[in-house]
Amino acid sequence: MKKKIFKIILFFVLLIVVSVLIFEIAFRLGNADIFISLLGNLSFLGFKESFDSLFIGLLVFSFLIAILIYCCAMKLIKKNNLK
């Protein structure tokens, strides 16, 4: 039971950290016009050229990166436990 709670907490912490980093990178280092034009190019996926679409896109991107980091962390933990 403790392992499942640890995994859930780990995933949410990773999601928060990755989301903050992605949004900081997007809004500090990038220009909003670049991201809005990118959304215009991704219109075939259903994105519109608006701030809401940018927010949702960055959130989905953060979620995917958090899942990737979570899976890598779980494999690393299992690998270290086997030794």
Domain positions in the chain are 2-82
| Average of per-residue pLDDT across 45-57 | 70
DSSP letters, the chain, are -HHHHHHHHHHHHHHHHHHHHHHHIIIIIS-HHHHHHHHHHTGGGT--SSHHHHHHHHHHHHHHHHHHHHHHHHHHHHHHHH-
Q: What's residue 63's pLDDT?
A: 93
- Contact between 54 and 36 under an 8 Å Cβ cutoff? The reply is yes
- Rounded distance between C-alpha atoms, residue 81 and residue 83, angstroms: 6
pLDDT of residue 44: 59
Q: Which residue has the higher pLDDT, 53 or 25?
A: 25
